[in-house]
Amino acid sequence: MNHTSYGIGRCVRAVVAVLALLLGLGSAAVVQAQPWRIASPAAYGLDSLAVARAYDHGEDLAPLNSLLIARHGDLVAEQYYRGMTAEQLVNIKSASKSILSALVGIALAEGHLDTLGQSALSFFPEYVDADTDPRKRAITLRHLLMMTAGLETTSFGNYGAWVTTDDWTRAALDQPMVDLPGGRMIYSTGSSHLVSAILTRATGESTLAFARRTLFGPLGIDRVRWDRSPEGVYFGGNNMALRPRDLLRFGQAYLDGGRAQGEQVIPADWVQASTQPYVFRSFRGFKYGYFWWIHSFAGVETVFAWGHGGQLLFVVPEYDLVVVCTSSLQGDTRRGHTGRLFDLMARYVLPAVQAEAAAP
């Protein structure tokens, strides 16, 4: 895609979006969410005593503040801790990267994006000049989704300096190259923020407006809080707040092949593609897809969204199971907390299903 055609395409899409809004066709209408049907764990093949033990163990896992389990599409376990309630929003941190992944799949289906092989820099012609590192010109949308862009990370020790700049998009692109595109995984929220900026430019809508129209609205998610960067782009892959039940609803849509409330919300082929492993060496030996983590817990293949401080969404196709854990980011944020939540999943939640499966 050349810069001229990109600019024309962007203008056309912006005009179409405005006309759709004027005609009432592009409004971010929220579908009335079907209430979660609440059932006992035993009725859906979970050992009730094992679930009770998971609840009790959660009491000892401060700052864990919610544990929700859905099986066969219904809510079978829901426990809140330390003053948390079902209606409170919780910052899911980098677990929002998996939501961003879904938005990329929807944008591809709607024709806003051509392919994952598009050059990332083609969306930012104003940031390109004759001195631009040719390796940066080779970075594609796929590289960003896999965290293999080769750019120095903006996370960890570099995070503070990055978020104090006045243009996070430019600052992410200005990071030096420390590997070739498609090389090793370099986890960086700068890469996911670039994806949000690309979605904004490709769709002619803010990432939040696009999400409300195509994802949150159809899922019945009517309350979202999401920070914005100084240049006006919604923070790609961080600082999004949802109710725990709504995060569970998103996970259920992925489990159901992108369908929710009788509609195909996320393209089924994207659900499949985004949860395949493409990176096999990352944190803790986990595999990585397109902003989704993949690992075997207690011998059961699981895809999951992972946010700082204990924000986790597990999707377990083998057991037709979705699990959400959220945690407070205030006060006690114990070192190793996320590892203890992985242990909760492996030693308490999944065995509750396995115990039932082994029963006569």
Closest-CA residue to 193 (of 232, 230, 238, 153): 238
Give the gyration radius of the chain's Cα atoms: 20
Host domain of residue 69: 3-358
What is the per-residue pLDDT across 296-316, written as a single tens digit (0 to 9) for each? 999 999 999 999 999 999 999
Percent of the chain with pLDDT over 90: 84
Cβ-Cβ contacts under 8 Å for 124 (sequence gap 6 or more):
169, 173, 197, 201
Out of 14-18, 133-137, 152-156, 267-271, which region has the weakest mean confidence (pLDDT)? 14-18
Residue 13: its pLDDT value, please? Answer: 44
Bigger pLDDT: 12 vs 243: 243
**Is it the case that residue 25 has pLDDT exceeding 90?**
no
Residue 109: predicted pLDDT: 98
Rounded CA-CA distance 32/14 in Å is 28
CA–CA gap between residue 248 and residue 312 (Å, rounded): 10
Domain CATH code at residue 38: 3.40.710.10
Query: Is residue 314 a contact partner of residue 251, using CB atoms and an 8 Å limit?
Result: yes
Looking at the 3D structure of the chain, how many domains does it have? 1
pLDDT greater than 90 at residue 193:
yes
On average, the pLDDT of the chain sits at 91
> Please, what is the Cα angle at 318 between 314 and 324, to 5 degrees?
15
**In sequence order, which residues have a C-beta less than 8 Å from that of residue 245 and are 6 or more positions away?**
36, 68, 75, 78, 86
pLDDT of residue 357: 60
Give burial (CB, 10 Å; 0-12/13-18/19+) of 140: buried
Structure tokens at 287: 């595999």
- The pLDDT tens digits of the residues spanning 208-235 come to 999 999 999 999 999 999 999 999 999 9
Q: pLDDT-derived band of residue 282, with 50, 70 and 90 as boundaries?
A: confident
Q: Which of 147, 310, 174 is nearest to 237 (CA)?
A: 147
Would you state the torsion angle of the CA atoms of residues 295, 195, 161, 186, taken in this order, to the nearest 10 degrees? 40
Strands 259-260 and 90-91: unpaired
Question: Alpha-carbon distance 149 to 120, whole Å?
Answer: 10
